């Protein structure tokens, strides 16, 4: 199985490999640089950025493509008014699977 990740970040590549190996055998993960549209994603831009990364790198050469993005979200009742959260998008050429990581406020 061949999986493309829309990043050359070794942590994102390794995390993707570990996740896919929980479900599939013989997984090969390839990091592909993607120029982000948003320098610092905010609110919906975080999801849009992850989707864009997965779409830009998908080709018939891969079984799946993955876009991972972190961004800020406006959250009332927090000290700073913002929380950081992560989004992972998996694309198989037809549909998306979307996951959100836990959010946290910077101290």
Per DSSP bridges, beta strands 64-74 and 82-91 are antiparallel
pLDDT score recorded for residue 42: 92
Dist CA 20 CA 31 (whole Å): 14
Region 53-74: mean pLDDT is: 97
Instruction: Output the pTM of the full model.
Output: 0.92
List the chain domain ranges.
2-100
74 contacts 81 by C-beta, under 8 angstroms? yes
The alpha-helical segments, DSSP class H, found in the chain are 10-21, 44-57
pLDDT score recorded for residue 36: 85
pLDDT score recorded for residue 104: 94
- Right CATH number for 2-100 from 3.90.700.10, 3.30.1360.10, 3.40.50.720, 3.90.950.10? 3.90.950.10
The residues facing 87 across adjacent strands are 69, 100
Helix (H, G, I), strand (E, B) or coil at 70: strand
Helix (H, G, I), strand (E, B) or coil at 103: coil
Cβ atoms < 10 Å from Cβ of 29: 22
43: phi > 0 → left, psi -120 to 50 → alpha, else beta; which? left
Dist CA 54 CA 78 (whole Å): 31
């Amino acid at each position: 199985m061949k999986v493309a990740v829309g990043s050359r970040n070794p942590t994102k590549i390794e995390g993707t490999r570990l996740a896919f190996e929980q479900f599939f055998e013989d997984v090969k993960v390839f990091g592909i640089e993607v120029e982000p549209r948003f320098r610092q994603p905010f609110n919906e831009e975080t999801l849009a950025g992850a989707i864009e990364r997965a779409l830009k790198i998908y080709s018939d050469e891969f079984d799946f493509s993955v876009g991972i993005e972190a961004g800020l979200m406006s959250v009332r009742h927090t000290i700073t008014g913002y929380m950081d959260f992560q989004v992972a998008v998996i694309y198989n050429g037809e549909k998306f699977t979307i996951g959100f990581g836990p959010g946290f406020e910077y101290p």
